[in-house]
Amino acid sequence: MVNENDIRTRAYFHFENRTGKRWQDPDANWSQAEAEERAWATARASDISGELFTYRPLSQMIPMLVIPSIDQKVAKGVISAASLPIELKQLQILWPPSASPVVQVNGEVQMTVEGIARRDLKPGDPVYTTDIVPGSEHLVPPTINEAPVAYLLLFSSFMDLRVYFDFSPNAPDWTPETQRKPPYELQEFAARSNFIQANPPEILLTRLKQLGWPPSPTYYPSLIQTMAHPGGDTPEMIASTIVAIHGAQYWTRRIALWSELRIFSTRTPYIRKAVEEYLEGDYVSAIYVAVPQFEGIINDYVRSSGGAVASRFRDTLSEFERLIESRKVLLFPRFALNLVIDFIDSGSFWNNTSTIADPRQQINRHGIAHGVFTGFETQELALKFLILLDCVALILLQDQLIRGVLN
């Protein structure tokens, strides 16, 4: 959220640096400086340029280069057709200036990282992340026949995408002296990998599903760390931690991304309205707006993807899952897709209204649509539906990206 003290502090220096006057000066336009800082703070809170620089290049490169390369690898027996879709954990595309692009997938990816060593190292010595000074790591640009080439490098880890790219070596005025070596978050990658390995998402998400919480990558690392403390594994503490993680700043950025990329198509205003009502504390309205949208979102997407919309929603949901798994690649683990689909399918959404014992913990679509329930207006229940929308958005985003139809 926008912090008032931060705004006033930044406005103070903003005004003095720009005018050479102190804000107490009777002629100083302090209100203008404060208003400008407030506008900039709001823009920073909803800045999604990093995500767009990740998704939009991939939406061009994957269908144009990666999918045809996967087809070739299957034809040559390098990849088994039975293993499709493959989980794309690493991807590197190389563009030689006068040859066809080279696509490297997962174990084929070769990369070099350089950094400042903490101790003397000899050729052949094993090197660990703790041997490198944090922040000194840089990605060494790839080469073909010892000549630097344009490249795009992707890492995918539990629904988290990182992209590095540099196309300048193919520019007419490029010289080796201008070659860029981007910072590489080696320590962060290693810590995240070790953390996920020590705390498998499947185990965490199964535990949370028992408490009615949808799967989400946002639980790492804050929720895990909380749950490891004495008393942190209680349903109440888990709920309060998840509420804290998904604050106004988080949802502001999500709405900005969904709107820019039209992830929910014509339903975006309804999703935005549900989030706004949640942030204002009107949990009844948030739930009433959000719950009916799930069926429409899935139906719309199946229809737009060339699938068959069935009379029974559960059949359409199966068709949705089939369409996603019919792609050649996935940008997140298959188990994450299965968990989201299972949460929608086996959750309370489609249960008979008579089976809902406590509407503060679970409700169904029919009961909401027909005004059956009262006493369900809890922050926890409203947030569960918003997080599930967030999960569905991740699936839609990656599928649109792979199909090359991202807005």
Summarised one tens digit per residue, pLDDT across range 76-133 is 999 999 999 999 999 999 998 888 999 999 999 988 888 998 888 888 888 888 888 8
Q: What is the mean pLDDT of residues 133-150?
A: 88
Final residue before a domain boundary, out of 193, 214, 245: 193
Same domain, 352 and 334: yes
**What's residue 24's pLDDT?**
57
Q: Please state the pTM of the whole predicted model.
A: 0.81
In a domain, 62, yes or no: no
Percent of the chain with pLDDT over 90: 38
In a domain, 33, yes or no: yes
In a domain, 58, yes or no: no
Same domain, 160 and 218: no
Same domain, 122 and 188: yes
Q: Select the highest-mean-pLDDT range: 1-10, 47-56, 386-395.
A: 386-395
Number of neighbouring beta carbons within 10 Å of residue 112: 11
Between 202 and 363, name the one with better pLDDT: 202
**What's residue 10's pLDDT?**
58
Same domain, 303 and 358: yes
Percent of the chain with pLDDT over 70: 81
Q: How far apart are the first and last CA of the chain?
A: 28
In a domain, 161, yes or no: yes
In a domain, 78, yes or no: no
Residue (of 318, 360, 352) closest to 338 by Cα position? 318
Domain membership of residue 36 as a residue range:
4-45
φ, ψ of residue 102 in degrees (nearest 5): -110, 125
Same domain, 280 and 358: yes
Final residue before a domain boundary, out of 151, 169, 193: 193
Between 271 and 373, name the one with better pLDDT: 271
Q: Which residues contact 148 (CB under 8 A, 6 or more apart)?
A: 141, 142, 169, 176, 179
74-87 core/surface letters (b: 16 or more CB in 10 A; e: else): beeeebeeeebbbe
Question: How far apart are the C-alpha atoms of 342 and 358, rounded to whole Å?
Answer: 21
In a domain, 73, yes or no: no
Give the chain's domain count: 3
Same domain, 14 and 153: no
Final residue before a domain boundary, out of 159, 193, 227: 193
In a domain, 312, yes or no: yes
Same domain, 29 and 14: yes
Same domain, 181 and 220: no
In a domain, 59, yes or no: no
What is the sign of the dihedral through the CA atoms of 201, 205, 206 and 207?
positive
296 pLDDT higher than 60: yes
Question: How far apart are the C-alpha atoms of 296 and 287, rounded to whole Å?
Answer: 15
Same domain, 189 and 338: no
**What's residue 207's pLDDT?**
86
Q: Are 72 and 137 in contact (CB under 8 A)?
A: no
Same domain, 130 and 279: no
Same domain, 246 and 321: yes
Same domain, 179 and 205: no
